[in-house]
Structure 1
Amino acid sequence: MKCERTKYCSRFILVTVILFAFFVSGCAKKNVPLKATITVAEVENAQKQWADMLIEVGKIHSEKGDYKAAAQNLINQLYAYNYEKGVVLFKPTKAKIHPYRKTVEGALSYFVGENPEFSEDTGFALAPWVDIKFKNDEMYMHGDMAIAMGEYFFTDAKGNMAKVEYTFGYIKDANGALKIVLHHSSLPYQG
């Protein structure tokens, strides 16, 4: 009897493995997309929130307020450093010595400077910027992730405008808020 059960269990496992393999290979061949849980409007709202909060950091700095706390709040609210795996792929525009910011401290230094470990940082958020506009070239939605790519335009208090290229990746947290898991910025190629 025991041999009989083992034979059926082995067959059941074998059939299950084969069916799973067919299912996976069938989905891969058909390229079945995951239903997107993030909308274009949510990404655009997250971009506006990022721009508004970055402008606020510079404004608070100009008014001699606690700009570091404002920058820390921007990072805590909008980036996924403290969410799930805590991985954020952050490649800021004006970073050469330390081009990748894997930690909250590295991101904070980029925005406000004053960190001897990141001596190249002068505080990007402190310009101050008075306007930031995103111009999305394209967005890709897949399951619980969205990626947006395009150009954003930074206008400073003197009216000077800088065009920067970006790619941002977002995930949705348990409360439905988007968190940045990818932030790559670069100046346009000049050949």
Structure 2
Amino acid sequence: MIKIGIILGSTRPGRKGEQVAKWVYERAARRRDAEFEVIDLLDNPLPHLDEPAPAPASLGRYQHEHTRAWADTIASFDGFVMVTPEYNHSIPGVLKNAIDYLHAEWINKAAGFVSYGGVGGARAVEQLRLICGALQMADVAPQVTLSLLTEFENYTVFKPGDHNVIALDTLLDQVVAWSTALAPLRAASPVAVA
């Protein structure tokens, strides 16, 4: 069965992402076409990138145990839903750092985006789409953008509207479909993954 990781891309104290990732997971867990699991970057602490070889050149051979553990985590999934806030028109540094640690483990996997912020986190998703393209990931077109003004009561308590549920279901449909479609490419990949 296809396995999709829901990456919680913020480690900031008081982050709203926990509520959002929980909502994504609870909605996704009702499905029967894939397995879902939350990957909280807070539970996967990585120092600023400290591997001596660039990820594409390492071919899955990493020097540090924390990198090997992170690589094993990401390699075990067929696709991802990235839950991200928008910081200064981009993604959190911790998410970018976690992505940059690896290369081969991301290739030929699908990615969907659930973002939140003043304008729904849309600009963070624009950045993630560029990054995913460089990693040979298939980013799906549907996305969920959650405004802090309308989807968070008093800017803190997440209360998604019904239209967001429909958007999330569409996003999940596409992530599962693309993850499934890319399975033969992942199986045939000559890239060694640790």
TM bracket (short chain): under 0.3
TM-score normalised by structure 1 residue count:
0.26
Structure ranking higher in strand proportion: 1
TM-score normalised by structure 2 residue count:
0.26
Structure having greater relative contact order (Cα 8 Å, sep ≥ 6): 2
